[in-house]
Chains A and B, each alone.
Chain A
Amino acid sequence: MEATPKEQPKVQPKAPPEFFVSIGPHMRTEESTAKIMWTVNAALLPATLMSVYFFGLPAILVIIVSILAAVMAEAGMQKLLKKDVTVSDGSAFLTGLLIAMNVPANIPLYIPAVASVVAIAITKHLFGGLGYNVFNPALIGRAFILVSFAKPMTTYTQPVANIMAMDAKTMATPLSLLKEDGIAKLLEVYPNIYQDLLMGNRAGSLGETATIALLLGAVFLMIKRYITWHIPITFIATVGLLTWVFGGKSGLMTGDPLFHMMSGGLILGAFFMATDYVTGPSIRIAQVLFGVSCGALTVLIRLKGGYPEGVMFAILLMNCFAPLLDRGMRSRVFGKAAAKGVKK
């Protein structure tokens, strides 16, 4: 679903002759890759501001470094591969921003830079550039640094709500507390857990904490119709349903869906990363299946896997299946006979 109509010269003369017939298309959209990408960047603005509010100066530095590294990697790779440099379309900017949103605030700055370079150079450009990448670049970048630098990537800090605070106390995320120490410890550290989750007053990656700011951006994108409900809502609903059924300690149907839906990177991942046009399916029914599968995999990893959070791996795994889903769900063209000797 590459919404990049070619720039075509407008052929409509000002005073048309009596019988002017032009060749279609007659209606053109004003959308372009650049416009969509910058709008998504704008939709992430509330969450970015909240992260700066909660984590202070380190957050600003991480955001600047990630974006700069991503943009430079994009320009460098495009120069190297002798392509047009399309830095201004905002897609590298978005990748960099998403990487910044996905790392802890007090991380050594070279780590997000490595992630940005891996994301842009390897995941995107070695696979053919924008529109050809199989996996979400930002998530591959994050997976790369999560495996390479496990310790700094999982050392989260307490939100300080102080712009100049350079060193904050470390603090576990709600999900890892739940996984390692159980519900009692979780409530001890986070007494107002729901409120903290909603506002973002909790330990976590930069952009994943402020649920309400992320939802604001998501609603904006949905109103603009840049994303539809098919992937994110099914994704989140599946996580809610499955954690409600299987997430409780005292039997079935005792889990806490609200907690699971608002914690971790689920909101960020579901609205801003699973909905990537390039790496997700584009047929509606396939999108629903994609969302449900992402949700199921996330819950599986959260409840049974080694990592406390599974959104990233779930989306990456399902990225592999996106072309298959699209192909499998393609509606048959009416009146078209199956080609002889070609089996589906």
Chain B
Amino acid sequence: MTTDKVNYGTIIKNGIFGENPVFRLALSLCPAVAVTSGVKNGFLMGVAVLFVMTMVNGTVSLLRNFINPKVRIPSYMFIIATWVTVTDLVMAAYARDVYKQMGLYIMLIVAFAIVLSRAEMFASKNKLIPSMVDGAAMGMGFLLALVLLGIFREALGKGSLWGYKFVETKPLLIMIMPTGGFFAMGLMMGWLNWIDRKFFGGTGGGGGGH
């Protein structure tokens, strides 16, 4: 994709559906299970990742001609760590309550496979704007996946959405525990694959698909 004409629509569609980080590439599942016990946490985590991915892809793209290929991975790690630190400090300054809950996971964005993989696979070969769009699209896909998982788990586990209760019955407590995260992830991945196969003629299955 090093041609001058870049189809942004394809990039965006790819990030959100075709290569959705969580449901298709099956990358960064650990945070996807860990923070999605509620919609709110999943959403904020998604926003943080969206920001980091956009900025990292942009920076890597700008520096792509200056980084020696032999040391590219450590260089990318530095760039990622920089932007994660920025996110971390901004959240610590302006969103204290959320930061107390999520601080640990924000720092962990450094280690998210999806960030590094997009830097390596896309940003290092493309120009600034397409790279940033790709980062944003991938971040968007991640955000959507986390919100979906969060809705599923919070609704079943606590009977609430974004902290507001809508039923008073005893919920399925297991869904907000780590076990439930795996249940939800597997069921949802299978469900989306089924939709893909049934309505969009895709092949289903993880690992990029069509």
Contact = CB atoms under 8 A, between A and B. Distances in A.
Interface of A: 114, 122, 126, 144, 147-150
Nearest to A126: B190
B183 A147 contact: no
A150 B183 contact: no
B153 to A, nearest CB: 13
Interface stretch (B10-18, B44-52, B168-176): B168-176
Contacts, number: 18
A80 to B, nearest CB: 11
Contact of A144 (B171, B174, B187, B190): B174
A147 B170 contact: no
A147 B179 contact: yes
A147 B177 contact: yes
Given A144-B174, A148-B172, A149-B173, A122 B183 contact: yes
18 contacts: A114-B172, A122-B183, A122-B187, A126-B186, A126-B190, A144-B174, A147-B173, A147-B174, A147-B177, A147-B179, A148-B171, A148-B172, A148-B173, A148-B174, A148-B175, A149-B170, A149-B173, A150-B173
A122 B187 CA distance: 9
A306 B196 CA distance: 43
Given A148-B172, A148-B173, 11 more contacts: A114-B172, A122-B183, A122-B187, A126-B186, A126-B190, A147-B177, A148-B171, A148-B174, A149-B170, A149-B173, A150-B173
A126 B177 CA distance: 21
Contacts of B190: 126
Nearest to A147: B174
Contacts of A149: 170, 173
Interface in B43-100: none
A8 to B, nearest CB: 36
Contacts of B171: 148
Contacts of B175: 148
A148 B173 CA distance: 4
Contacts of B172: 114, 148
A148 B179 CA distance: 11
B183 to A, nearest CB: 7
Contacts of A148: 171-175
Contacts of A114: 172
Nearest to A146: B174
A126 B188 CA distance: 12
A114 B190 CA distance: 21
Contacts of B173: 147-150
